[in-house]
Structure 1
Amino acid sequence: MSKKVLLMTQNFYPVIGSSGNRMKNIYQLLNENGIDADVLTTEPAYPNKNMYKDSEFWDEESLNEEKHKIIRVPIKNNRFQNHILSRLFFYLEIMYRFLLELWKLRKNGYDYILVSTPPIFIVFSAFIGKYVLKSKLILEVRDLWPDSLIGVKTFHNKPIIKIFRYLEKKMYRKADSIVINSIGFYDHIKVKLKEDKPITYMPNGPRQYEITEEKPGTKEFRVVYTGNLGLAQDIDHLKQVANLLHAEGIRFDVIGYGVRTEEFVNYLAENNLNTVHVHKPTTRKKSLELIKNSNVAVAFLNDEEVFSTVLPGKIIDYMTCKTPIIAGVKGTAADMITENETGFTFDQADVEGIVAKIVDLKNDKVTEQQLGENGIRTVKEYFLWENNIKKLIDIIK
């Protein structure tokens, strides 16, 4: 008899971004490997609910047909505002609606609940669900909370932060197993545990069919940035990169979404940076296609210490597409890029150094090609989902 698992997550196909893609891959690969997995999620709404009215985002027919296994709860308060109270009510509504669904699912015989955090409020509903469903619980950590909340400087209430830190410890200690997507999280979580508990590193990555084996030739040298333009991504330095690339006459493509997208677009217009092309949020397939057709990819993270533990999904996507990386990052992400020779890393403030290295690569096709080959080798060795899912299967079986 196969094991049954309920995945609980805010973001799931067709939601764009690394979290939705991660949970989609976990769901598909568990089912392909003899584990009966279902999903409890919200209706797609990030970053904009209306965009999912476009059929282009619903591009996997097999998932569209599995409505009996993918339970989507409607959320009335779906505005992704930065105001702390608005977000609090949003997460509380998700928690409430998930609890209602868990009560309906109590006779389904789930052996495990796998819950993805952040947000932490979904984890609270999963802890209650653990007893309602009589299941074990796997906590899947995609971001360190509340440190990431503090890192983006949106919340500084010390008494409430103290409560959040207490809840964080309880969250780790109550889980039966913990899965992390960045090795940088390991020490942070380990010191908060009272007893020895398995912490399994299962990074984001591509599926085998997504890997670029042959990179197409490009007539024009192109630089690309994809992903969130939010509070963690250091948009101010990205603006400066756009300015300097324009001065060099280098095309810069940006697929961006998030709370600072409008600010970035307005900056380009005000400064007449017409070599910078901003694309609307699109499917993962089209995003990978744009990266594949670019010569260099850039990434930035906020300089706060918490972000030194993060390995952004976009960096793995860049390697998947055989595209060299120039990044203003430190810690885990910088170590991965440097040790595997998939690109070059700089201090976030060294914008001139970043652009100078891009110009160097424009004139050095041999190095550009070698960095791309190193990226593919690294992805195949460490980041393929078909290999890494075995770690989660071992926990469940």
Structure 2
Amino acid sequence: MKILYLHQYFATRNSHTATRSYEFAKKLIEKGHEVCMLTTDTFLAGDTPYKEEKNVKYYRIDGIEVIAIKNDYSNYMGLVKRGWSFFSYMQQAYKIGKKLTGMDIMFSTSTPLTIAIPTLRLQKKLKIPFVFEVRDLWPEAPKQMEAIKSNFILNRLSKLESKVYQKADHIISLSPGMTEGIIETGIDPNKITMVSNLSDLNLFDLEKDYTNEQQVWLEKFQLKNKFLLLHLGAMGEANGLDYLVEAAKILKEKNQEDIRIVIGGDGKSKPRLEAYCIQHKLTNVVFLGHVPRSDVPMITSLAHITMTCFKPLPILATNSPNKFFDSMAAGKPIIVNSDGWTKDIVENYGIGHYVNPEKPQDLANLLIDLEQQRESLAELQPRIRQIAEEHYSAEKLANKVEQILVGSLERSKLS
């Protein structure tokens, strides 16, 4: 198959964000398929293009032909600037995509939902089927977050959501809650397959020796012998990270000097969180800023336990967070504060804890208890890693995606 893969924010391991599309594209190529990734250069600063034109960069990355439209985007942007970034990609993706020849099928992944517009236009122009991957339930997510308040815009997005679901040959969801949300729009459940986020077992090589890097890192942040809770990922409003710094304040008041909360990443809420820590003199919170994807395994290996944090909104309980599956790949126990399927995974497998998202004191009390259980937490590593290998490996999930794409292409030839 020759696959046209649309992902507005494609990233490789040279970046600092999730690499699901990169892993899937690479696996598809290993299976003998061709992949052309139509994306933006937002997260490709660490990669070198082989050709550059006025508004487009061309890369060849591990066999993936990458066409990247120059596009500014940041988590700090407001709604208007984000809208312009989305619009720019929509226009350019169609302009470039319609000139591509020989494509057999299109695989489009959100977010944002606006990826549906070039997808629908290219389907009509290229006359090829497409599979649509849902990473977030739009427009319900921005509606509950109150990021979009205009009923007119929300209604337009709802119509776009329904149209792309109907036109897609097949839909991939990333969690049971997302599957239910898609079904609620009137889509036949047989048209949907859940392919969760993946655990990158190759990146998280448990046999790799990070001793030297670990010592340097621990000394840099003065964390030697401390009990470490790690939250590594986006720092947007949806993550509700005020919960972590409020828990840190409680820990300080309880004189728990050996517990540190380490927050890696960047985003709109970071300045506010840093200001809160300065105001309350919280030396028990460490902000790492952007962390290169290649450094994530080393840093995660030092954590005694990790945190997957979200605001207490129903829609966010449907998320399939990358950091959660990274922790599983690293064999690290996980604390979650979202009453969704990640809570079910943690509790059913006995690999972590759930805390009330409205009560940061619950997190603080739990950390005080766990600080005395360092050895038992470390002993969970083999079992957590085994669960990741059995259920969430990139290899197995890529096989599932390939079967979906092949099935869609075969159906289109019969129709």
Q: TM-score, normalised by structure 1?
A: 0.89
Give 1:40's aligned residue: 38
2:291 equivalent to 1:291: no
Q: Distance in 2 between matches of 1:237 and 1:376?
A: 28
Partners in 2 of 1:191 and 1:175 — Cα distance? 16
- Letter aligned with residue 36 of structure 2: D
1:389 to 390, 398, 405: 398
Shift of 1:292: 1.0
1:72 aligns with 2:68: yes
Q: Which residue of 2 aligns with 1:12?
A: 10
Distance 1:64 1:219, change over 3 A: farther
Q: Which amino acid aligns with 1:259?
A: K
2:28 counterpart of 1:30: yes
Indicate if the aligned counterparts of 2:60 and 2:66 stay in contact, CA closer than 8 A.
no
Tell me the distance in 1 between the aligned counterparts of 2:85 and 2:329. Answer: 34
1:164 equivalenced with 2:157 (yes/no): yes
2:105–2:129 contact (8 Å) kept in structure 1: yes
User: How much does 1:177 deviate?
Assistant: 0.8
For 1:49, the equivalent position in structure 2 comes to none
Q: Which residue of 1 aligns with 2:237?
A: 231
Alignment deviations for residues 222-277 of structure 1 (CA, whole Å, 9 cap, x no partner)? 22111111111112212212323444111222112111111112222222222322
Aligned pairs (5 A) from 1:1-397:
3-14=1-12, 15-18=15-18, 21-45=19-43, 57-58=46-47, 69-75=65-71, 77-78=72-73, 80-105=75-100, 108-195=101-188, 197-213=190-206, 219-246=225-252, 247-249=255-257, 250-397=259-406
Aligned length: 380
Contact 1:137 1:176 in 2 (8 A): yes
Give 2:157's aligned amino acid.
F
SS of corresponding position for 2:137: coil
Shift of 1:80: 4.5
Alignment deviations for residues 146-185 of structure 1 (CA, whole Å, 9 cap, x no partner) = 0111122212222332222222111211111111122221
Counterpart-to-counterpart distance in 2, 1:206 and 1:233: 20
Q: Secondary structure at the match of 1:298?
A: strand
Alignment CA distance shift 1:220-1:58 (3 Å): farther
Which residue type is aligned with residue 79 of structure 2? I
Say which SS state the counterpart of residue 71 (structure 1) adopts. strand
Please give the alpha-carbon distance, in whole angstroms, between the structure 1 residues aligned to 2:61 and 2:339: 42
Contact 1:99 1:125 in 2 (8 A): yes
- After superposition, the C-alpha distances for 1:38-92 in whole angstroms (9 at most, x for unaligned) are 10000125xxxxxx65xxx449x9x7656981101112x5455443222222211
Question: Percent same amino acid at aligned positions?
Answer: 21
Q: Which stretch has the larger CA shift, 241-250 or 278-287? A: 241-250
- How many angstroms apart in 2 are the aligned matches of 1:372 and 1:245? 26
Cα distance, 1:103–1:58 mapped onto 2, change above 3 Å: closer
Distance 1:80 1:314, change over 3 A: closer
Cross-structure match for 2:55: none
How has the CA–CA distance of structure 1 residues 317 and 202 changed in structure 2, closer, same or farther, with 3 Å as cutoff?
same
The answer for unaligned runs of 5 or more in structure 2 is 51-58, 212-223, 407-415
Letter in 1 for 2:16: I
> Is the contact between residue 26 and residue 62 of structure 2 (CA under 8 Å) also seen in structure 1?
no
Tell me which amino acid in the other structure corresponds to 2:89: I
Q: 1:41 to 1:67 in 2, by over 3 A?
A: farther
Separation in 1, partners of 2:64, 2:204: 31
Contact 1:244 1:355 in 2 (8 A): yes
2:90–2:117 contact (8 Å) kept in structure 1: yes
Residues 123, 171 of structure 1: 8 Å contact kept: yes
Contact 1:216 1:293 in 2 (8 A): no
Aligned to 2:98, what secondary structure does the other structure show? helix
C-alpha contact 2:199 2:393 (8 A) present in aligned 1: yes
- Decide whether aligned partners of structure 1 residues 131 and 325 sit closer, same or farther in structure 2, where only a CA change above 3 A counts: same
Amino acid at match of 2:17: G
Q: Could you say if the C-alpha distance between residues 303 and 71 of structure 1 is closer, same or farther in structure 2, counting changes exceeding 3 Å?
A: same
CA displacement, residues 125-164 of structure 1 (integer Å, 9 cap, x when unaligned) = 0111112222110101111000111122212222332222
CA RMSD of the aligned region, Å? 2.4
1:274 counterpart SS class: coil
Amino acid in structure 1 at the alignment position of 2:88: E
Once residues 326 and 243 of structure 1 are traced to their aligned partners in structure 2, the CA distance between those partners, rounded to angstroms, is: 18
Q: Specify whether residues 275 and 196 from structure 1 end up closer, same or farther in structure 2 by C-alpha distance, changes over 3 A only.
A: closer
Q: 1:84 to 1:113 in 2, by over 3 A?
A: same
Q: Is the 8 A contact 2:35 2:64 kept in 1?
A: no
